[in-house]
Amino acid sequence: MDEAHREFLDELLATHSPSGFESPALSAWVDYVSEFADDVTVDAYGNAVATSEGDERSVAFGGHADEIGFMVRDVDDDGFLALTRVGGSDKTVVRGQHVVVHADDPVPGVVGQTAIHLREGDDEIPDINENYVDVGATSKEEAEELVEVGDPVTFASRVENLQGSRLAARGMDNRVGIWAAAEGLRRAVERDADATVHAVATVQEEVGLNGAKMVGFDLAPDAFVAVDVTHATDAPKTPKEKSTSVDLGGGPTVARGSTNHPGLVRGVREVAEREGIDVQLEAAGSYTGTDADAVFVSRGGIPSLNVGVPNRYMHTPVEVVDTADLDAVADLLGAVGASVDAFDLTAGL
């Protein structure tokens, strides 16, 4: 990955932006796309759209800026913080983790875990709301000088370079999507795409695809490509029964079925073949679980598609992606932006 593009990815991953509190990620994203977009708009909830103006046909590349996390639910008399989840936080990876409470100033803390010596047998995994954060306070009053009920909380993990082109961090879901949307727009601009091309960073995907519902109605592009992480199934003991087999480093996935418009699927696959970009097919028999599910039912129906970035260990502090897949997604989107005028986006009847 080019150094400047990696710096942008690292900047996005350094932000903490749980659902409803996406401003840090969105600010970095808007600054980046403003360098090559003709126009950048932000709506009342923070959904950001960068546009390269072209002819009548328009295509939007979208990712969601939010991540899963937690929220301060209460403060007890001893200064410990009770939690509630934001989005699909995984209760199996919460205890014994460093976290940050995003108050007026960041407050470091840890999620408590009773020492193994003091536990009996194999304890059941507690629900999120049974966990607490220890910020070192000794009283309710001391803690409330630092934090308030409703402050968001995220894991405090950092970006780690693994072997080759692989990275581990929290928040890959879905910083990689907004990175790809921005880079896809930039590469479409470099190709002098005739179409109007939008890059979109939505809010609140993890709590109901909320931002995509707003953008789909307001922007109403002729086609929409949602870029989100998908499950890489090549790690040991990863169940193969619930999803398509997907390899990390094997290229982006193109989903088929349900939400995914056949003409858009066909056009993207043809572009990938022409450009020499490896893609993996993914079955989506009922829904994709991405922003595409919200956009495709907007207005009178917007041809939509989910393109996936293979990701190991989703919704943990150690999500792993391959930057070769990210570059491939960005190249694919750039080529789609330059080719979408020729796509057949009818029902084919």
Binding residues, as ranges, are 64, 173, 206, 228, 315
pLDDT surpassing 80 at residue 286: yes
DSSP state of 63: E
Lowest mean pLDDT among 108-122, 172-186, 306-320: 108-122
Task: Write down the domain spans for the chain.
Answer: 3-67+170-342, 69-155
Tens-place pLDDT, residues 231-261: 999 999 999 888 999 999 999 999 999 999 9
Residue 124's pLDDT band, with cuts at 50, 70 and 90, is: confident
Peptide bond into 174 cis (omega under 30): yes
Q: Are 96 and 86 in contact (CB under 8 A)?
A: no
Residues 331, 302: Cα–Cα separation, whole Å = 23
Residues 210, 304: Cα–Cα separation, whole Å = 16
Lowest mean pLDDT among 122-136, 146-160, 329-343: 122-136
Catalytic annotation on 205?
yes
Tens-place pLDDT, residues 289-320: 999 999 999 999 999 999 999 999 999 999 99
Average pLDDT, the chain: 97
Residues 313, 333: Cα–Cα separation, whole Å = 25
The upper half-sphere exposure of residue 284, i.e. CA atoms within 13 Å in the direction of its Cβ, equals 27
Find the catalytic residue in 22, 67, 205, 282: 205
Q: Are 151 and 71 in contact (CB under 8 A)?
A: yes
Query: What does pTM read for this prediction?
Result: 0.97
Share of residues in the chain with pLDDT > 70 (%): 100
Binding residues for Zn(2+), as ranges, are 64, 173, 206, 228, 315
Domains 3-67+170-342 and 69-155 share a fold: no
Residues 278, 259: Cα–Cα separation, whole Å = 22
The architecture that CATH gives domain 3-67+170-342 is 3-Layer(aba) Sandwich (3.40)
The architecture that CATH gives domain 69-155 is Beta Barrel (2.40)
Residues 321, 347: Cα–Cα separation, whole Å = 35
Residue 56: per-residue pLDDT: 82
